[in-house]
């Protein structure tokens, strides 16, 4: 992670009032990494917690660490269907011959002791009987009457046995506070017998689109109008993050309406997101309102798509000011800026102190790429397997910031850093995968 190069300002208002208080701060050419670091300093995560049923905790952030109340597994047990015996019975010079004296099922233990020369038929998960320390799998033995015979040259004591505490030891921290619950975690916590967990309350996020040209879906489109698609992609991205969503509609470029909506949003939500109206040359209503009701910085980010971006805090009628993200209006730029700035900030606000950055790795790009140095580009790409089975990437096609079909086609961003210029086909590029399995 890159460290902020500037001295930490005391407050957002100080930066807004006097941008030169930060070294290297140029709002008109803000590097992506720096913008991310800047935002991070001013985030106040939610603190209120609630206790909820384990199943409901998927995607939520743990407010308290979870300690293991017991060993998992709770007792030594067999990892295979086979026969449990004492490894001292193995000799290197002859096949091992043992008498079967009973059966241990999962959930129904064999309660006698296994003595030398004896074994117990055991099923996967069955508790290891006293006296036995090793399991031979059933496919390796010859059963005749009540006697098994097997020869295992490389047999080791404790083979095919799962030990008590092998997964988790009693008292151990299983999941730390700030952890986001995923499918495996639900199972893991259930394996400890814990039915409820303490999580941070859901982050409330209000959003609205701005623009006189916006029509809502279901209405006929007049000349010069476009359907408001940003609210839909924002809805999708926010839903995936698991926040509480407040959709405040498409608001025309009307100062009174915009002000009312902005204040209502900031009075009810922890975070307010708008799209459109923050680029230079717009009717300046949003900028004036944001200055009037909050402390907001306006940047031109050195990136494509997604140049204009506003970040700050808006004071509604509650004590805590709402965090504010003013995203560009162009539909692809909305999604790119969301993933590159808002997502990570939102995870911090939700209670995850150190969210993992989106993973990036290098693959070969099969097509040439046109790119200017001095800015970061997030081109939409398709990762695919070629004939020899290796993963490669190609751009989706036209990369305009209004071409939303490029986002639908894409399964990754091709991330081209500031210093990267035009690339020939066959060059290695960094990609960020958009789909995940958990």
Q: Using CB under 5 A as the criterion, which residues of the chain lie in contact with Mg ion when the complex forms?
A: 211, 276-277, 329
Query: b/e for 286-302, b at 16 or more Cβ within 10 A?
Result: bbebbeebbbbbbbbbb
Indicate whether 178 belongs to the interface with ligand AMP (CB under 6 A).
no
Q: Which does 328 bind (CB under 5 to 8 A by kind): Mg ion, ligand AMP, none?
A: ligand AMP
Q: Which residues partner with 208 through β-bridges?
A: 274
Scanning the structure block, which residue is given the tokens 């091709």?
414
Give me the least distance between CB of 330 and ligand AMP, in Å please: 4
- Find the binder of ligand AMP among 282, 284, 367, 418 (CB under 6 A): 282
Q: Which is nearer to ligand AMP, 297 or 431 (CB)?
A: 297
Strand partners, 429: 363
Q: How many CA atoms lie within 13 A of 392 on its CB side?
A: 14
What gap in Å lies between CA 172 and CA 66, rounded to an integer? 9
Residue nearest to ligand AMP (CB): 329
110 or 285: CB nearest Mg ion? 285
Q: Which of 226, 245, 348, 383 binds ligand AMP (CB under 6 A)?
A: 226
Question: Cα dist. 398→123, 278, 407, 413 in Å?
Answer: 59, 25, 11, 14
Chain centroid to Cα 284, Å, comes to 36
**Minimum CB–partner distance for residue 431 and ligand AMP (Å):** 26
DSSP 367: S
* Two tokens, residue 44: 């106040």
User: Interface with ligand AMP by CB under 6 A: which range of 9-17, 21-29, 159-167, 223-231?
Assistant: 223-231
Site string for ligand AMP, 238-277 (x = CB under 6 A): -------------------------------------xxx
Q: State which of residues 209, 274, 337, 340 lies at the interface with ligand AMP (CB under 6 A).
A: 209
Our finding on whether 68 is near ligand AMP (CB under 6 A) is: no
d(CA 343, CA 347): 6
Residue from 294, 328, 381, 395 binding ligand AMP (CB under 6 A): 328
CA angle 222, 223, 224 (to 5 degrees): 110
Taking each helix axis from N to C end, the angle separating 343-350 and 230-241, rounded to the nearest 10 degrees, works out to 40
Q: Binding string, 121-150, against ligand AMP, x = CB under 6 A?
A: ------------------------------
Minimum distance of ligand AMP from residue 413's CB (angstroms): 20
Six-digit token string for 254: 């009307």
- Torsion angle defined by CA atoms of residues 408, 409, 411 and 415, in that order, rounded to the nearest 10 degrees: -100
Residues that contact ligand AMP, how many (by CB under 6 A): 17
Chain position carrying tokens 């384990």: 54
The residue count for the chain: 438
Stretch that binds ligand AMP, among 29-37, 48-56, 178-186, 207-215 (CB under 6 A): 207-215
Q: Which is nearer to Mg ion, 331 or 381 (CB)?
A: 331
Question: Which C-beta is closer to ligand AMP: that of 114 or that of 214?
Answer: 214
Give the range of 158-166, 228-236, 292-300, 382-390 binding ligand AMP by CB under 6 A.
228-236
Torsion over CA of 114, 119, 125 and 129, rounded to 10 degrees? 0
With CB cut-offs between 5 and 8 Å by kind, which of ligand AMP, Mg ion, none does residue 77 bind?
A: none
Of 72 and 278, the one with the shorter C-beta distance to Mg ion is 278
Do 430 and 414 contact (CB within 8 A), yes or no? Answer: yes
Binding residue for ligand AMP, selected from 305, 329, 351, 381, defined by CB under 6 A? 329
Residue corresponding to tokens 């002000």? 259
Residue the block writes with tokens 């986002």:
407
Query: Closest approach of Cβ 249 to ligand AMP, in Å?
Result: 10
The site partner of 330 among ligand AMP, Mg ion, none (C-beta below 5 to 8 Å per kind) is: ligand AMP
Task: Please answer whether residues 150 and 136 qualify as being in contact, where contact means their C-beta atoms are separated by less than 8 angstroms.
Answer: yes
Interface residues with ligand AMP (CB under 6 A) are: 209, 211, 213-214, 226, 228-230, 275-277, 279, 282, 328-331
């Amino acid at each position: 992670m890159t460290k902020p190069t500037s001295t930490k300002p005391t407050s957002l208002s100080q930066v807004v009032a006097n941008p030169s208080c930060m070294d290297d701060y140029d709002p008109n050419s803000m590097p992506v990494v720096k913008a991310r670091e800047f935002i991070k300093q001013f985030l106040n995560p939610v603190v209120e917690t609630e206790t909820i049923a384990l199943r409901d905790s998927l995607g939520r952030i743990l407010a308290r660490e979870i300690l293991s109340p017991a060993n998992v597994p709770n007792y030594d047990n067999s990892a295979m269907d086979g026969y449990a015996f004492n490894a001292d019975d193995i000799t290197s010079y002859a096949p091992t011959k043992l008498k079967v004296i009973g059966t241990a099922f999962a959930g129904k233990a064999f309660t006698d002791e296994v003595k030398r020369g004896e074994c117990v038929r055991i099923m996967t998960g069955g508790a290891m009987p006293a006296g036995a320390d090793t399991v031979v799998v059933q496919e390796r033995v010859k059963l005749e009457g009540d006697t098994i015979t097997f020869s295992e040259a490389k047999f080791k004591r404790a083979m095919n046995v799962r030990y008590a505490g092998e997964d988790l030891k009693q008292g151990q921290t299983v999941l730390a506070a700030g952890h986001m619950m995923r499918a495996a975690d639900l199972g893991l916590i259930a394996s400890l017998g814990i039915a409820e967990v303490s999580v941070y309350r859901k982050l409330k996020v209000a959003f609205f689109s701005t623009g006189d040209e916006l029509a809502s879906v279901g209405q006929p489109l007049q000349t010069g109008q476009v359907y408001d698609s940003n609210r839909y992609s924002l809805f999708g991205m926010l839903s995936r993050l698991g926040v509480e969503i407040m959709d405040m509609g498409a608001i025309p470029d009307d100062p009174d309406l915009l002000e009312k909506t902005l204040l209502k949003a900031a009075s009810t939500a922890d975070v307010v997101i708008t799209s459109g109206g923050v680029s230079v040359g717009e009717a300046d209503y949003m900028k004036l309102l944001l200055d009037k009701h909050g402390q907001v910085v306006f940047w031109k980010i050195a990136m494509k798509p997604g140049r204009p971006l506003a970040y700050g805090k808006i004071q509604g009628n509650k004590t805590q000011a709402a965090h504010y993200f003013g995203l560009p209006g162009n539909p692809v730029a909305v999604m790119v800026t969301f993933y590159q700035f808002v997502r990570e900030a939102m995870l911090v606000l939700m209670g995850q102190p150190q969210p993992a950055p989106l993973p990036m790795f290098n693959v070969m790009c099969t097509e040439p790429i046109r790119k200017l140095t001095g800015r970061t580009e997030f081109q939409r790409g398709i990762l695919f397997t070629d004939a020899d089975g290796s993963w490669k990437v190609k751009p989706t096609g036209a990369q305009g910031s209004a071409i939303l079909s490029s986002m639908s086609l894409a399964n990754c961003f091709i991330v081209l850093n500031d210093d990267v210029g035009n690339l020939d086909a066959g060059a290695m590029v960094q990609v960020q995968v958009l789909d995940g399995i958990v």
